[in-house]
Structure 1
Amino acid sequence: MEYQDYYKTLGVNRDASADEIKKAYRRLARRYHPDVSEEPDAEAQFKRISEAYEVLKDPEKRKLYDQLGENWQAGQDYSPPPGGQRTGSRTTSGFSGGGDFGDFSDFFESIFGRGAAGGFNDPFGEFRGQQRGPDWDRHQGASAQGRDVSAELEVDLEDAYSGATRTVSFTAAGQAQSQRRELKVKIPAGVTDGQRIRLKGQGEASPFGGENGDLLIKILIKPHRHFQLDGKDVHLVLPVAPWEAALGATVAVPTLGGKVELTIPAESQSQKRLRLKGRGMPGKTPGDQYVSLMIVNPPAKTEDAKAAFESFREAFDFDPRASLGSH
């Protein structure tokens, strides 16, 4: 049978300390555990690293394994030393046999015998052996974190600007069943559309007693009747009278933080854009508010109003379409 290099499987040197072996196993188990991994070969990889860790974490098993000498070279066929072959309930290696452990390799069993895993788990969560001990809980549980849960929360633009506390409803699965949950969420001032808020430990429970997953809340800011968001910047279309645009004026402009005074330069045209620095969404670097002018004519419903517009036309020799030429 083919020799298995347990040190190579865990990615550690042959003189690695017990702590280094433990850290390497936890890192790989978190990556390949079938309940949480998206790797295509997660199941097979998890079996290999579990077997390697079962041997290298135990000083006696590791010592026996290291005695294989030059046969440790990867890819070399291995034949167990005389007397080391499984013989029923006990082997010359001194480890108990028997039991119903079928997930570790023939190579493992040829050295340590069946049942020598001491009640280690299989990667599908079906426990093989008499009892799961604290060692399993400590190492396997730590590597099998619960799944993260995603949820969406719609908020008003004013709440996103000022901050607020809202209730989000979501489904999180435990070890036995999924339950609908409600949780109060603090929305930070200046949150932007599409930003995710992470609530540690509020996701699904771990099936192995490890840490809970997290709750990831995607913030969706509702459309506003006046303001439009662009990242942290805020845009507003501001209606102005023809004389305000022509002569210039100082007018009150709404912002998310309250009204401010804005100076409109003389001879302004529609779509002219003015900036209110720092009046956008708050933050370490706050956004700006951009104000686009839109000239709005008063209604000409009375005779006096019509006469005023007529005199206005006679006062100017003005063609608004002159720039279009003859086409």
Structure 2
Amino acid sequence: MSKRDYYEVLGVARDAGEDDLKKAYRRCAMKYHPDRNPGDKAAEEAFKECKEAYETLSDPSRRRMYDAHGHAAFEHGMGGGGAGYADMGDIFGDIFGNIFGGAGGGRGPRRGADIGYVMELSLEEAVGGVEKQIEVPTLDECEACDGSGSSDGRLDTCNTCHGRGQVRFQRGIFSMQQACPHCGGRGKTIANPCDECHGHGRVERTKTLQVKIPAGVDNGDRIRLAGEGEAGPAGSPPGDLYVDIRVREHEIFQRDGDDLHCEVPIRISQAALGDTIRVPTLEGEVELRIPVETQTGKMFRLRGKGVRSVRSRQPGDLYCRVVVETPVNLTAEQRELLERFEATFGGEGARRHSPRSSTFLDGVKGFWERMTG
């Protein structure tokens, strides 16, 4: 069976540029890749055909021979070796990194790793903002060799990858590549390693940083400090430092977004007769008026006494839930007064003084009537 024209296989014009060839091959590989068409022999053959076409047309010398002589150019050994593996690795990394979630097959040393740091703050620090000094263990660039790993600056071409930084290997029908394990993707090896870092170009060090925390951060927020992560190998760019915020529990307030909540205990007499009390906020105490006959659980809203978060312009509110406390450690006089007070609730007249109790008793009575009726 005669071979199809390579330009026809990829669906490109004969004057297609390198980018057009890559895009065409991407489309072809996405459509016919065996992992996307399990058990489909026709798709597997189509994928091989696309791969062969791209390997030929992406190599300038092989493409010139193909344009002049067609498929006959590569019969009887006329065409020599295959396409350059660096180009194939790049496009395989682009394609299969996108399909299967892997990283691209980029050449050369990678940037330094990102590192994380958990910072605990009090609620007051999180709401008001604070500047903190932290110490972070990391890999930092070796000062003795400026991160090169070489004591004299001399670098030799890697004998394994021949300076490409990548090595190629075959896995079934796939031609794959990865960073050279000998030189770590640099393409160079060190003739005389640095005595300080032993050729790694990086040393373990504890870095001290001043971190400014903006006002209004909340639990789970993250602050990125660009370039403060691990130094990259062979002088490549450093990673980033991510500071994760953890806000400790507060003894009075609970935060809910931009709002704050707290419980305010009051005495029975204050709840019955009404009063003006002072309640805490993050900015100091303010007055709160307790109306006559306030019931436990009543919620009072203090506008603007909450939090102004980093994402909002207006502060939230403070919600105060009053809790009527039962008095303890009574004196004899107080006990006598309460007994005399309780005696005034005798008979049916007590129901009008205890609205929640009356509702509860009516509900109990109705329940037993339904059960026995």
**What is the match of residue 236 of structure 1?**
262
What's the CA shift string for 1:132-161, capped at 9, x where partnerless? xxxxxxx956x8322211110111111111
User: Does residue 201 of the first structure (1) align with residue 227 of the second (2)?
Assistant: yes
Q: Distance in 2 between matches of 1:279 and 1:85?
A: 79
Q: TM-score, normalised by structure 2?
A: 0.52
Counterpart check, 1:315 vs 2:344: yes
Tell me if structure 2 keeps the 8 A contact 1:145–1:213: yes
TM-superposed deviation, 1:199: 0.8
The sequence identity of aligned pairs, in percent, is 32
Match of 2:169 in 1: none
Q: After the TM superposition, which of the residue ranges 152-161 and 277-286 deviates more from structure 2?
A: 277-286
Look at both structures and tell me which one has the larger radius of gyration over its CA atoms.
2
Q: Which has the higher helix share?
A: 2
1:144 to 2:110 alignment: yes
In structure 1, runs of 5+ residues without a counterpart are 22-51, 87-106, 110-115, 121-138
1:85 aligns with 2:80: yes
> Following the alignment from structure 1 to structure 2, what is the Cα–Cα distance between the partners of residues 271 and 163?
33
2:291 corresponds to which letter in structure 1? P
What residue in structure 1 maps to residue 208 of structure 2?
Answer: 182
SS at match of 2:111: coil
Structure 2 residue identity aligned to 1:215: L
Name the CA distance, whole Å, in 1 between partners of 2:289 and 2:223: 39
For 1:212, what is the secondary structure of its paired residue? coil
Partner of residue 17, structure 2: 15
Structure-2 change in CA distance of 1:71 and 1:286 (3 Å): farther
Counterpart of 2:276 (choices 232, 245, 250) is 250
Describe the shift of the 1:66–1:170 C-alpha distance in structure 2 as closer, same or farther (beyond 3 A).
Answer: farther
Task: Decide whether aligned partners of structure 1 residues 180 and 306 sit closer, same or farther in structure 2, where only a CA change above 3 A counts.
Answer: same
Q: 1:130-169 alignment to 2 at 5 Å? A: 140=107, 144-169=110-135
Whether the 8 Å CA contact 1:163–1:189 is kept in 2: the answer is yes
CA contact (8 A) 2:278 2:287 kept: yes
Cα distance in structure 1, aligned partners of 2:68 and 2:128: 69
Structure 2 gap segments, 5+ residues each = 23-53, 90-105, 141-200, 369-373
Aligned-pair CA distance for 1:279? 1.6
Q: Deviations over 1:75-116 (max 9, x none)?
A: x99937975426xxxxxxxxxxxxxxxxxxxx225xxxxxx9
Q: CA offset at residue 301 of structure 1? A: 2.6
Report how far residue 258 of structure 1 moved: 1.6
Aligned residues, how many? Answer: 234
Give 3-state SS (helix, strand or coil) of 2:308's partner. Answer: coil
Q: Find the aligned partners of 1:77 and 1:243 in 2 and give their Cα distance.
A: 106
Q: Compute the RMSD of aligned alpha carbons.
A: 4.1
Q: Deviations over 1:179-200 (max 9, x none)?
A: 3323221111111011111111
Question: Is residue 240 of structure 2 the alignment partner of residue 214 of structure 1?
Answer: yes
Q: Structure 1 pair 208/63, CA: closer, same or farther in 2 (3 Å)?
A: farther
Task: Give the Cα separation in 2 of the matches to 1:262 and 1:232.
Answer: 21
- Which of 1 and 2 has higher RCO (CA within 8 Å, sep 6+)? 2
State the alpha-carbon separation in 1 of the partners of residues 257 and 215 from structure 2: 14
State how far apart, in whole Å, the 1-side matches of 2:219 and 2:344 are: 50
CA contact (8 A) 2:65 2:79 kept: no
Corresponding residue number in structure 1 for 2:66: 68
| Pick aligned residue for 2:334 from 305, 311, 315 | 305
Alignment-derived partner of residue 181 in structure 2: none
Equivalent of 2:308, from 273, 277, 282?
A: 282
Structure 1 residues 250, 63: CA separation in 2 closer, same or farther (over 3 Å shift)? farther
Distance 1:77 1:177, change over 3 A: farther
Task: Kindly report which structure 2 residues correspond to 1:48-127, keeping only aligned pairs within 5 A, or say none.
Answer: 62=60, 65=63, 68-69=66-67, 79=74, 84-85=79-80, 107-108=82-83
CA 1:78–1:228 in structure 2 vs 1: closer, same or farther (change >3 Å)?
farther
The answer to whether the 8 Å contact 2:202/2:231 transfers is: no
CA shift in 2, pair 1:16/1:83, >3 Å: closer
Distance of 1:71 and 1:196 partners within structure 2: 61
Amino acid in structure 2 at the alignment position of 1:267: E
Corresponding letter in the other structure for 1:286: P
d(CA) in 1 for partners of 2:110 and 2:130? Answer: 34
Which of 290, 293, 297 pairs up with 1:264? 290
Amino acid at match of 1:169: E
